[in-house]
Every structure is written in structure tokens, then in C-alpha cells.
Amino acid sequence: MGAYILKRLVSAIPVLLGITVIVFLIMAMIPGDPATAILGSYATPENVEKLNRDLGLDKPLVTRYFIWLGNMLTGDFGRSFSLNRPVLDEILDRFNATLILAGVSFVLASVMGILAGVISAARQYGLADKAITFTVLIGISVPSFFLGMMMILLFAVNLRWLPVSGMYAIYGGGDLPDLLRHLVMPATALAVVATGVIARLSRSAMLEVLRQDYIRTARAKGVDERRVIMGHALRAAMVSIIPVLGIQAGFVLSGSVYIEMVFQWPGVGRMLVDAILKRDIILVQGGVVFVAAAYVFFNIVVDVAQSLLDPRIKT
Amino acid sequence: MIAFLRLLFRNRLAAVGAVVLGAILLLALLTPILPLADPDATATADRFKRPFSEGHLLGTDHLGRDLLSRLLWGTRLSLAVGIFAALIAATIGSAIGIIAGYFGGRTDNVIMRGVDMLMAFPYILLALAIVAALGPGLMNALIAVAAVNIPFFARNIRGVTVGLAGREFIDAARLAGMGHTRIILTELLPNVLSTIVIAMSTTVGWMILETAGLSFLGLGSQPPQADLGSMLGEARSALITSPHTSIVPGVMIFLIVMSINLLGDGVRDALDPRLRSGALTRPRAVTLVDRRSHVPHADQKGLLNIQSLETQFHVGPRIYRAVRGVSLHVNPGEAVGVIGESGSGKSVMALSVMGLVASPPGVITGGAVRYAGEDLLSASYTSLRAKRGQNVAYIFQDPLSTLHPLYRVGDQLMEAIQSHNRVPDAVARAKAIELLKAVRIPNAENRLRNYPHEMSGGMRQRVGIAMALANDPDVIIADEPTTALDVTVQAQILSLLDDLRRERGLAIIFITHDFGVVAQLCDRVAVMYAGQIVEEGPTETILTQPAHPYTKRLMACVPELGGGKRELAAIPGMPPVVSDLPPGCSFAARCDKATAACRTGEIALAGTASHTVRCIDPEEDLA
């Protein structure tokens, strides 16, 4: 098992390098002169040239890539001009908030989605199945940012059950119950689409498995139906559900951008949008690489989980 | 095409989706000629008017602009951008996919590595990075959304192309001297087009949602131009005071995406051949029993007694009569063979006993199955479950697919034991080891820890038998347990079963299509054809003096070892389709003795007490 994890970690290196190359190339597409973009069109030519030299922009593309990569490996993601502080510090300050939001949302979506899918499959064409299928259809069609806004309107403004936005109350907050109260709406809004996708996939995976011969064997030996569904069938269906969980984790992680905007959540997503609007390319570049790298590591966790579940995978 | 549309609209939800989407598309097309206010005309005095106010059906926004007008123009823009992005992504992605799939080898490798790399990004993050580079703006948002969807198309289309590229018609085109471009455009593209269209129908909703999302963040359309996303984004600051400015564009996005999703699901279902045929089995714990005739009275035959069993498959409007009035019993210590071709209904008959026929489409429509006098078909699920494995156990064909691939065989054995007896794990484990030893698996203690894929076919079949024996059942129904095995292993398994029945007094129903197996193990044999028993009698008699023409022909198909060279006589024709049976003898069409009398009316089983045959002109006189 240890060897397998190591192998997966090693195989992540080319993916991580690929990510840096892609991000670098995208940023190199910026039309015009980056220094002019930063300084604005009224900057003097001397200032532009100086900034270009300071940023190393006068060097060839390949050299610039390796300098950038080398700096990142030593923990230097550059300096954000709009915030006037190191990019990595800013990301680390904010990544926790994103991780809490996306993590809770992902767990919520996985549990609810799989459960809904299993019930739906076990009661195929029954009332529960129809109700779930219909709810899921609505869920995957609502834009998360619109859903978030409607939740604010209903639960925060009209019913006054939950705080409108933010991560902690400004006065007297800061403890776990406070965090949870602030988390309910954004985490739910973010989870809805992923829940729907996971439920759909779980339903079809379960239906596929329930047709298999080994399910008939389990029934033939007298295993109770609940155990057939929640044990034999779900265990086998998980093999095709887990990869989808990995993909959905990416959607939840990046979809948090919208939710962070709607709920004023102090995460990386909001930072990225602000940075894009302020044309703070260095901050965007660092943020994108950091989040993408985090996702790569999460996918390794998914692969390891898959290998624990399926003994047929050579570890 | 017409059949497809009919199928599509039979799905009511898909029809609703089509109608809603059609209405929205029509409105978007007609927007320029509708009598609407100027969407960009500001009138600060009239800001935040409620819906249904005079002159403004949906009210006004924070600059006093008419919301209805802005909604329709915004919908038009959102739809155009989403569809355009989908077209770009489909074109570029499909081109990449076709090239990778057609050329294969190194080209494929390099391209797919790149595609995988792009897919390693969380979706929206990549779009953000592209917008960051190009700068905010609707066109740039469109490019970003199209770009992040290219890998999806590339991967899907490549998969289909790889399958096609190896086919004969591509080779033929190449041999005919066509160039690569021509082959791709005239041979490949028409064949992948339907896949591209389906992929587009499933992604266009996403793309509309994503561009709306980018506009919502302020990275898409810039004022005063507004798509649905930026309308929602601008309305956000007035969410609490004037919620209608948010609700109007939000509901429209929802309606568009939902109608596309409904329609897309409908299209996919209508094109799915499995759904189309209605052949999908559904997961029920017990076969549906719907007896239309009265239940036969108990007669005192056998430990397990199948009486006039009728099992059918109801698929759409068609009814397949898989088992047609089969009666069969087995006594303790007896082995009864059931022999027949594939599709003769022998497995369905066997599975009906314990309600294991996949249902729906399977329905038991008549007869009775009595275990020790009690009718299993009217038993409750709880009592049937308690008897499964405990009283009547099954051994199935092909243990690789019948054992659970993800559980250790020891756990599967222990589960069989613990489903009926609440014993501690240690006891169950000891019993499992004992069972593996009983079926002569060497090194039983270690074998418990194996997964099915780590064992040989013969070993797996022994595990299957051990599992059937776990609760000392009285009856074992073995459904072709040796078909997947090679001959030496087959002989070992048969002698094992024979020993078990002599030692434990097991009653065995042995289903096979192999006369050699029947001769070796069975006391009695029943021959099935088209869902009926056509001949039944002691093995010895049936083998030496077959009375039904079918039995005789069937045995002529078996090559004999040391019998010298002789022509093997295959039976001409095919068994009849059990959804459309001719009157009279079902074998008449393939029988060289058939007369007009064979094709009228039911023919009953007749003969002596021990040997019966369903034929009006039997090969042997049974009197």
C-alpha cells in the first residue's frame, strides 16, 4: 500500500508540471505588455521598462518559465501588487476558508447523493424514485449563485434563521457554532448540483450492479434484501461512483467561486475574481496553480480509496 | 426518425422540455420585432418598480430600465453565447478527438496527454485563468467556456473514433486510395456525428450556465450590454430591497437549463437500445407472482415438487412464455437431470423455484412450487428468504460472475452461514474452513483470504458448491455448474456432487445441456424444449430408447469418444421464439416426421408411470 501511494505521488509530478506549463502559457497569452497592464496606459516608458526588467519579462519565454517554476518550488509565488504582499501568504490566509466550505459541501453532496441514488435504484419506477429523480433534475438545473441568493432571501432576510453572509459574526462570533451557522447556506447551495450529479450516477451504477449474477447469488443464499442493497450492491457500485466523486470534488472546489461571491465568504475564489478584475496577474497565476495542485493531491486520495475498495487493482 | 420522435415524445417530461425550450427560443428569435421598450433606456425616476406596474410588466431595475425588455434581450444573448460556445467546443474538440483516434499511436498519445492535463484542472478554475489572461468581456468569457469544454469532446469523440478506425470500411477506403482528409470527412465524420450531437445536447446547458456564471462574477458581458448572468450580478446588491430584479433573470436561467436537461435526457433514453427494447431488468427481491389460474392442489410427490409452472417475461407488448406448464419433482437422495438447448427455459424454471427470476420483466403466472408440501409461490418474502440457501440452495454456472468480486471468499461463505444462524464470527469461520475442506480445497485456511479473481475456475466452482452446502440444504439446484470448466475438473466436481448426495441424502436438480453429465450423475432425466418437458424417464431408458424425435436428434449431436468417424447430425433450423409459438408441437417445424396432426391442438405428456413423452408418433412404443 505504501509503495502504491508513493507511486501515485511520483506520477503526480508530470501532472503538476503540466499544470504549471498550461497556466504559464495562458498567462503568456495576455495581449500587449504586462507591465503596461499593471501600470496603466499613462505610465512613462522608463517605468514600463524598469518594471519589465524587475519582473524578468525581458527574458525569453522558456527562461521565464523556469525562473517562475524555480521560485515557486522555493515557496516564492511572487508579490501581489494590488494587495502589496506575497501571493503565497494571501493564498494561505484564504485557503482554509475555501477548504472548509468546499470540504463540508463535498461531504454533504457525496452522502446525500449516494443515499438518494441507492434509494432511487432500489425503488426503481416507484414513488420514491420518481420524487428523487424530479428533485435531482431541478437541483442540477438551478445556478448555484441564484440558489444562494434565494436562500439568503428566504432563510436570512424573511425567516431570520441564519446570518446573511460572511464566515463569522463580527461581534462575539468566532467559535464553532458560529462558523456552522454561517456555513449552512453556502455549503448547501454549493452542494446541490454535485448532489444531483452524484445521485444520478449512483442510481445508474446501482441499477447496473443489481443486474449482475453475484447479486442473484447473494439473494439465492438467503442474504437479507437490505444487506444485498447496502452491502453487496453498493460496495460494487462504489467502484464506478468514486471516480465521479473525484470529478465532482473539482466542481465543488472551483464552483465555490460563485458561492464565495454571493455569501461574502473570505476564500480563494473571491480573491481570484478580485485579482482578475484588478488585472493582478501574478496573484491569479499563483492562486490557480495552488488550487489546481490541491486538486491533484485530492485525486491521489481518491485513487488510493479506489484501490482499497477494489482488490483487483494492482497496488 | 419518426419512430425516434414518437419514442421521445412518449416521454412526457422530454415533451415538456421541448415545449418550454421551443417557446423560449421563439421568444428570443422574435425579440427584435416585439414592441418592447429600449432595454438600455435609463429612467432613474422609475427605478425598482414592482412587477405588473403600468408600462412595465416585470417592473424595472436599479436604473429604471424595463425588466421584460432586458430579460428577453438578455435571454437572446445568453442563448446565443451558450450555443456558440458549444459549437466551437464541439468543432475543435471533435476535430482533435477524430485526429487522435484515427491516427492513433504517437499522435494519439501526445494529444491525449495534453487533454488529460487540461482535465486535471478543476473546470471553472481553468475558465477563470483564461478570462484573467484575456481580460473580462463577453467574447472572452465565451472563448474560456468553449476552451474548457474542448477536452470533454476530444475524449468522447476519440473513444468512438478508435472503435471505428479499426473497422473494415475504413481499411477498404484506405485500400481504395483515399487520402486521410477524405477518409476522415466522408467515412468517419458521418459516423461520429450522432455522438457529437448527443454530447452537445448534454453540454450546451452547462455552457449557458457557465457563461452566465462568469457574467455574474462581472467577468463576462460588460454594461450596458447584459446577458442573464450579468443581470443577476447587477441585481445582487438590491437583493433584499427589490428581489424581483434577481428573481426574473434567475428563473429564466433555470428554465432554460432545465428544459435543455429534460430534452437531453429524453434524447439519450430514446437512443439507448436497452431502454428502447424495454429489456432492462429491475431490481426486486422476489419474482412477481401473478397467477391467473387456480393453484394446483398438493399431490404427495417428492420433497420439492414443481406443478404446472408457468413463467413469462412481459417486455413491452410482447409476452415470452419461457416456461409453459412444467411439472417436475425430486426425492431425497435423488438426482434429476433437466436437459435442453440454450433458451429452452430450463434455467428460468430453476430460478422460478426460489423467486430468483429478474422481475420485472419476469412474472410467474401459474402453477405451484411445493417444498415439503408448502407452496413457495405464495410464501411471504421473509419466509422465502429464510428458505433460500437453508432448504433449497443453488449452484450457478460461471463462478467468476456469480461470486462477488470485491469480497473475500471466506467472507462470502461466512455470510451464507450467518444469514441463517446467528453465530459468532469464529464459529462461522471454522464452519467455512470445514466446508472448503468438504469440497476438497487444499490449504483451506489460507484460501479463505482469497478473492475470487485469485482462484482458478475449478476452485471457484468448489467455493460455489461449498456456499450452497453451507446450511445443509435438502435440495440443491445446480444450473450448469460444470459448463465453464475443463473436462478433468468437470469430472471431479461431478463425483463430488455424487458423493454429497449419497452421504447427505441431498436431492439434486441438475440442469445441463450435456448428456455425458446426465449419464454420470442422474437417476432420472427430463428433456425440455421451448418451455415444455417433451420427455421424462429414467436416465438409462432415455439414453438407450429415446421416444421423442427431439431427444433422439439431440443425442445424435453428441460425438462419441472411440465411436469412430461419423457424421454429426446437427438439428436443422432454430428453436421457436417463445413469444410467438405455433399451435401443436413446438418441434414440428424441425421434425422430419411431422404431419398435419402435429400442428393442431395441444399434445399431452403420455406414456407409462415412469416414462412419458409429448409426441403423437413416438420413436419407441411406451406401452
Q: What is the pLDDT of residues A44-53, one digit of tens each?
A: 778 777 777 7
Which is nearest to A256 in space by CA: A186, A306, A178, A195?
A: A186
Nearest chain B residue (CA) to A221: B389
3-class secondary structure for chain A? Answer: CHHHHHHHHHHHHHHHHHHHHHHHHHHHCCCCCHHHHHHCCCCCHHHHHHHHHHCCCCCCHHHHHHHHHHHHHCCCCCEECCCCEEHHHHHHHHHHHHHHHHHHHHHHHHHHHHHHHHHHHHCCCCHHHHHHHHHHHHHCCCCHHHHHHHHHHHHHHHCCCCCCCCCCCCCCCCCHHHHHHHHHHHHHHHHHHHHHHHHHHHHHHHHHHHCCHHHHHHHHCCCCHHHHHHHHHHHHHHHHHHHHHHHHHHHHHHHHHHHHHHCCCCCHHHHHHHHHHCCCHHHHHHHHHHHHHHHHHHHHHHHHHHHHHCCCCCC
User: A221 and B117: CB-CB below 8 Å?
Assistant: no
Q: What is the pLDDT of residues B546-582, one digit of tens each?
A: 888 888 888 877 766 665 565 656 777 777 777 778 8
Disruptive mutation site among B404, B435, B475 for chain A (greatest number of A CBs within 10 Å): B404
Closest Cβ opposite residue B420 in set A222, A228, A277? A222
Residues 464-503 of B with CB under 8 A from A: 464, 467-468, 470-471
Disruptive mutation site among A16, A33, A154, A214 for chain B (greatest number of B CBs within 10 Å): A214
Which is nearest to A55 in space by CA: A258, A268, A294, A285?
A: A285
> Above 70 in pLDDT, residue A268?
yes
Residue predicted with more confidence, A50 or B136: B136
Residue B43, number of CB atoms within 10 A of its CB: 14
Percent of chain A with pLDDT over 70: 95
Closest Cβ opposite residue B258 in set A141, A150, A218? A141
Residue B191's SS3 state is helix
Give the type of residue at B221: S
Closest Cβ opposite residue A213 in set B124, B401, B420? B401
pLDDT confidence bin for B265, thresholds 50/70/90: confident
Percent of chain B with pLDDT over 70: 95
Residue predicted with more confidence, B198 or B352: B352
Order of strands across the sheet that contains B392-395: B392-395, B475-479, B507-512, B335-339, B524-529, B532-538, B612-613, B606-607
What per-residue confidence (pLDDT) applies to B562? Answer: 61
Closest Cβ opposite residue A137 in set B118, B261, B388? B261
State how far the Cα of B401 lies from the Cα of B398, in Å rounded to an integer: 6
Closest Cβ opposite residue B404 in set A149, A218, A291? A218
- So what's the ipTM on this one? 0.89
By the 10 Å C-beta count (0-12 exposed, 13-18 middle, 19+ buried), A10 is classed as: exposed
State how far the Cα of A71 lies from the Cα of B569, in Å rounded to an integer: 81
User: B394 and A142: CB-CB below 8 Å?
Assistant: no
**C-alpha separations of B431 from A219, B284, B321, B470 in Å:** 21, 31, 42, 8
Query: What is the mean pLDDT of the segment spanning B504-512?
Result: 91
Backbone angles phi, psi at B374, to 5 degrees: -90, 135
User: A143 and B453: CB-CB below 8 Å?
Assistant: no
Which is nearest to B351 in space by CA: A49, A215, A154, A288?
A: A215
* Cell output for B29: 428569435
Query: Does A130 reach chain B within 8 Å, measured CB to CB?
Result: no
Residues 235-274 of B with CB under 8 A from A: 236, 239-240, 243, 246-247, 250, 253-254, 257-258, 261-262, 265
Residue B475's SS3 state is strand
User: Residues of B with CB below 8 A from A253's CB?
Assistant: 122, 125
* Cell output for B12: 412526457
User: B407 and A235: CB-CB below 8 Å?
Assistant: yes
Closest Cβ opposite residue A309 in set B120, B351, B406? B406
CA dihedral sign, ordered B130, B134, B137, B140 = negative
CA B219 to chain centre: 44
> Above 80 in pLDDT, residue A34?
no
> Is B61:B211 a contact under the CB 8 Å cutoff?
no
DSSP state of B377: G
User: B240 and A228: CB-CB below 8 Å?
Assistant: no
Backbone angles phi, psi at B137, to 5 degrees: 155, 150
Which is nearest to B183 in space by CA: B164, B196, B200, B197?
A: B164
User: Residues of A with CB below 8 A from B281's CB?
Assistant: 211
Q: What is the pLDDT of residues B79-120, one digit of tens each?
A: 999 999 999 999 999 999 999 998 888 988 899 888 888 888
Which is nearest to B509 in space by CA: B330, B355, B368?
A: B330
> Above 90 in pLDDT, residue B34?
no
Q: What is the pLDDT of residues B215-239, one digit of tens each?
A: 999 998 888 888 999 999 988 888 8
Which is nearest to B368 in space by CA: B314, B445, B307?
A: B307
> Above 60 in pLDDT, residue B62?
yes
By the 10 Å C-beta count (0-12 exposed, 13-18 middle, 19+ buried), B150 is classed as: buried
> Is B501:B471 a contact under the CB 8 Å cutoff?
no
Q: Please, what's the largest Cα pairwise distance for chain A?
A: 84
CA dihedral sign, ordered B43, B48, B54, B55 = positive
* Cell output for B283: 431490481
Q: What is the pLDDT of residues A109-122, one digit of tens each?
A: 999 999 999 999 98
User: A26 and B129: CB-CB below 8 Å?
Assistant: yes
User: Residues of A with CB below 8 A from B237's CB?
Assistant: none
Distance from CA of B85 to the nearest CA of A (A): 18
User: Residues of A with CB below 8 A from B388's CB?
Assistant: 219-222
State how far the Cα of A249 lies from the Cα of A246, in Å rounded to an integer: 5
Residue B591, number of CB atoms within 10 A of its CB: 20
> Above 80 in pLDDT, residue B316?
no
> Above 60 in pLDDT, residue B276?
no
Distance from CA of A181 to the nearest CA of B (A): 20
> Above 80 in pLDDT, residue B272?
no
* Cell output for B257: 437549463
Greatest mean pLDDT range, B266-270, B384-388, B497-501: B384-388
State how far the Cα of B399 lies from the Cα of B480, in Å rounded to an integer: 11
